[in-house]
């Protein structure tokens, strides 16, 4: 994608958290207004929009036209609006679609919004919605209570964790250290859901979910919205603050051969961007549980297979380390409003590349990578997006 010269020029995001009484259109509108103001653009400058949402049909009852309803409430009119649902990778998928639309000449200025509400008066709705992102037959065979348990945490992640532990060994303390690191990062992020620092002892003492996984190693449910404005780099109104989309690779699971599905998609992204893993200076990865962050180190080529524990324990992934991972706090602490997560990752990396991250700034950053994945289809991750940003 490097030759397409498409950039993110405006950033807008709500705080992530629990906002039961705040409707989708208010959350989405707040992020849209902030993104346009950051870009120095008006509503009339936008000629296409992609709006990502995954859970509203179950949690709030809003179906099919979430994007149009949010945009009309903000007095947009006439433009084509595309509603995108691709599980946890919804808004990062929307970014890929927006970049392709601009590269194809179908649009010049595109708004991308990810917006989600998981909190409601009936907490079972969030679980039902999240479990709906898994293969229905697998869900039925699992015999879990879909209104009280997450099939991902109880049935999908544990076998992966066990296979890894059997092959390489894995300490619960290492996973706890990842959670502690992400919470420390989140303490520097005013938009994060959880900002109070925690200790390894706190994490290990929190409620056990399954095996070594405890509650503090897991992403919470969240409400929130994140929006960006995307356009051709040479037409950006503030070129010095534009962040180029160098690659956006999208795929699904069931990778042939000996490489994981995420590694296969990452390899496509590295090829598009014309870089190698060692060029990446900061990353946002999909840490729905702490183990998934550790596994991502290996899948993205930041260390060798089996080297994730050593990489995590070396301090390399903390701010001040060689490759800070999840400087925003990640899903575990920044929060995980499903369809907003992908854009939120890119907003954090864009802020970093602009040099505007304050106390969590990664110095001398040239290339940054986001890995966003979600859902479960038959026997593997359903949707995977790896995006690479740079100057």
The SS3 call for residue 390 is: strand
Point out the catalytic residue in the list 185, 218, 336, 391: 336
- Per-residue pLDDT, 46: 98
Q: How far is the C-alpha of 167 from the C-alpha of 304, rounded, in Å?
A: 13
Record: fold of 2-122+223-242: Peroxisomal Thiolase; Chain A, domain 1 (3.40.47)
Can 336 be counted among the known catalytic residues? yes
Residues with Cβ within 8 Å of 53's Cβ and at least 6 positions away in sequence, in order, are 24, 62, 66, 67, 83, 84, 85, 90, 114, 115, 116, 339
Token pair of 217 as six digits: 């190693």
pLDDT along the chain (391 residues), means of 10: 77 98 97 98 97 97 97 97 98 98 96 98 95 93 92 94 96 98 98 98 96 96 98 92 97 80 96 98 98 98 97 98 98 98 98 98 98 94 97 85
Nearest CA to 387 out of 330, 341, 354, 342 is that of 342
The CATH number of 133-219+247-390 is 3.40.47.10
Q: Where in the chain is the domain with CATH 3.40.47.10?
A: 2-122+223-242, 133-219+247-390
Q: Which are the contacts of 349, defined by CB distance < 8 A and separation ≥ 6?
A: 243, 282, 284, 368, 369, 370, 389
Could you give the CA distance from residue 155 to residue 149 in angstroms, rounded to a whole number? 10
Helix axis angle for 290-299 and 261-273, nearest 10°, is 50
DSSP state of 112: E
Taking the C-alpha atoms of residue 89 and residue 108, their distance in angstroms, rounded to an integer, is 24
Per-position DSSP letters for 304-318, written without gaps between them: -TT-HHHHHHTTTTS
Q: Which of 88, 218, 286, 303 is catalytic?
A: 88
- Whether the pTM exceeds 0.95: the reply is yes
- Cα(361)–Cα(40) distance, integer angstroms: 24
Cβ–Cβ < 8 Å for 90, 76: no
- Residue linked to tokens 């301090």: 315
Instruction: State in Å, rounded, how far the first CA of the chain is from the last one.
Output: 13
Q: In what order do the strands lie in the sheet with 243-251?
A: 81-84, 48-52, 109-116, 224-232, 6-13, 243-251, 380-390, 367-377, 282-284
286 classed as catalytic: no
Check residue 4 and give its pLDDT. Answer: 60
Closest CA to 209 of 182, 238, 259, 175: 175
């Amino acid at each position: 994608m490097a030759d397409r010269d498409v950039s993110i020029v405006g950033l807008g995001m709500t705080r992530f958290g629990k906002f039961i009484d705040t409707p989708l259109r208010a959350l989405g509108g707040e992020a849209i207004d902030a993104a346009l103001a950051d870009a120095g653009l008006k509503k009339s400058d936008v000629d296409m929009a992609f709006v990502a949402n995954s859970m509203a049909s179950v949690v709030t009852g809003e179906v099919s036209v979430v994007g149009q309803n949010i945009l009309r409430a903000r007095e947009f009119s006439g433009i084509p609006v595309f509603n995108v649902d691709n599980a946890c990778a919804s808004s990062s998928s929307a970014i890929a679609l927006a970049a392709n639309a601009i590269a194809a000449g179908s649009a010049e200025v595109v708004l991308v919004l990810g917006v989600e509400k998981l909190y409601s008066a009936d907490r079972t709705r969030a679980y039902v919605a999240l479990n709906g992102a898994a293969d229905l037959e697998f869900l039925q065979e699992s015999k879990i209570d879909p209104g009280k348990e997450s099939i991902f945490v109880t049935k999908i992640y544990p076998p992966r964790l066990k296979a890894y532990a059997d092959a390489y060994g894995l300490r619960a303390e290492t996973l706890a250290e990842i959670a502690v690191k992400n919470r420390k990062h989140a303490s520097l992020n005013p938009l994060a859901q959880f900002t109070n620092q925690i200790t390894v002892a706190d994490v290990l003492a929190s409620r056990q979910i399954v095996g070594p996984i405890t509650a503090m190693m897991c992403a919470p449910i969240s409400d929130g919205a994140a929006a960006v404005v995307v356009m051709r780099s040479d037409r950006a109104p503030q070129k010095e603050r534009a962040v180029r989309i160098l690659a956006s690779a999208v795929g699904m699971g069931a990778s042939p051969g000996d490489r994981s599905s995420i590694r296969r998609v990452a390899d496509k992204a590295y090829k598009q961007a014309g870089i190698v893993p060692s060029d990446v200076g900061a990353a946002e990865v999909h840490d729905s549980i702490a183990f998934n962050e550790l596994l991502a180190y290996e899948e993205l080529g930041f260390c060798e297979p089996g080297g994730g524990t050593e990489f995590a324990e070396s301090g390399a992934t903390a701010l001040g380390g060689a490759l800070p991972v999840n400087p925003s706090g990640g899903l575990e602490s920044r929060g995980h409003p499903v369809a907003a997560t992908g854009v939120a990752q890119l907003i954090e990396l864009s802020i970093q590349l602009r040099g505007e991250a304050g106390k969590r700034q990664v110095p001398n950053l040239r290339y940054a990578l986001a890995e966003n994945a979600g859902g479960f289809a038959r026997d593997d991750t359903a949707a995977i997006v790896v995006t690479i940003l740079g100057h």
